[in-house]
Amino acid sequence: MSEDNTRVLRKIIHIDMDAFYASVEQRDFPEYRGKPLVVGGKPDSRGVVATASYEARQYGIKSAMSCSKAYQLCPTAIFVYPRFDAYTSVSRSIREIFHRYTDIIEPLSLDEAYLDVTEDKLGIGSAIDIAKSIKDDIKNELNLTASAGVSINKFVAKIASDMNKPDGLTFIGPSKIKAFMEKLPVEKFFGIGKVTAARMKSMQIITGADLKKLSEAQLIAQFGKSGKFYYKVVRGIDERPVQSNRETKSVGAEDTLSEDTNDESVMHSLLHQISETVANRLEKHKLSGKTVTLKIKFEDFKQITRSRSFAFPINKAAQIYLEAIQLLKEADIGFKKVRLLGITLSRFYDDVAREKPESNQLEFEF
């Protein structure tokens, strides 16, 4: 076995904070503790649930559910608006804890991140022990709980972190991955949404073992380029690196109208406000995008998107607004009433495909 054709198995941790926004609220306001709490909007508003406490989840309340529906499920729930400044501050403190152990950190949002601890800064060695230490630090210093998944790649680590919530730690080692992936229901695969899962089930693809029966060519024929990804991950193969300075792929904003409408002037006014918000965010991150995407959600919750790309990037509110109203016009929604509008700018960077040679793996203790 040549040295060039071998590599050490990576040690990857996925940390996911438990009901993050709601947990911060319950930490900061003792009167919320032990009670069903919904972070989002007022129960009679058109807002949606950002996060629900575990007490609220027992009533069936979930993220992205309308606040009015959440209220129907649990009229005694406490509804509060998000305090994003507070969540951002806590997220920074969590990130500082991560940096004690590794600088190879890929944040996915305020409340979750991947960490590559193949070579940790403290010389601990065991990824399981590092995950335990991180969880303890978060609990002792921030009075919050996190769940951790530990494995040899990002895909398996992320699934593992969701297995024993809240305050869980799950390790799926190299020898266990094959059996684990074969038993996993397809809807539990990260990247397989409800629509794709339903389609797979109609094809009698219920678990990873069923998915594994299809060749790569068959999966690509059925699911496009995602088929290649499914073929690899069901075999426990995920070579994506933890990117410590992951590039921003898109910047956007959206807002719900106070009432469903097909009034063009009202929609234009909201698009103007959203364009200003997006432009400010682009300025903050020093970004310009070559693609504008307009999201339109109708009163029946069905949604469509319309996009336009340019040879040169844009980032000014006026440019974004003009393109958004043009896309709205071209969408030709007729008399349909609109519930929500959103604008996203993307294509900041050119994607570069990186081919990696196959290699054998050397195992070591986790």
Catalytic residue among 55, 112, 182, 365: 112
50, 49, 44: which is closest to 68 by C-alpha?
Answer: 44
Is 263 annotated as belonging to a binding site? no
176, 153, 191: which is closest to 13 by C-alpha?
Answer: 153
Amino acid of residue 349: Y
The radius of gyration of the chain's CA atoms, rounded to the nearest angstrom, is 23
Strand runs labelled E in 102-249 = 105-109, 112-116, 146-151, 169-171
Is 16 annotated as belonging to a binding site? yes
Q: Give Cα separations from 102 to 16, 49, 115, 160 (angstroms).
A: 17, 33, 7, 20
Tally of CB atoms within 10 A around 352: 5
**Is 112 one of the annotated active-site residues of the chain?**
yes
* The pair of three-digit structure tokens given for residue 205, joined into one six-digit string: 């693809």
Tally of CB atoms within 10 A around 108: 14
Q: What are the counts of helices (DSSP H) followed by strands (DSSP E) for the chain?
A: 13, 14
H or E, element range at 279: helix 264-285
Q: Tokens 């069903």 — which residue?
A: 36
Annotated binding site for Mg(2+): 16, 111
> Active-site residues: which are they?
112
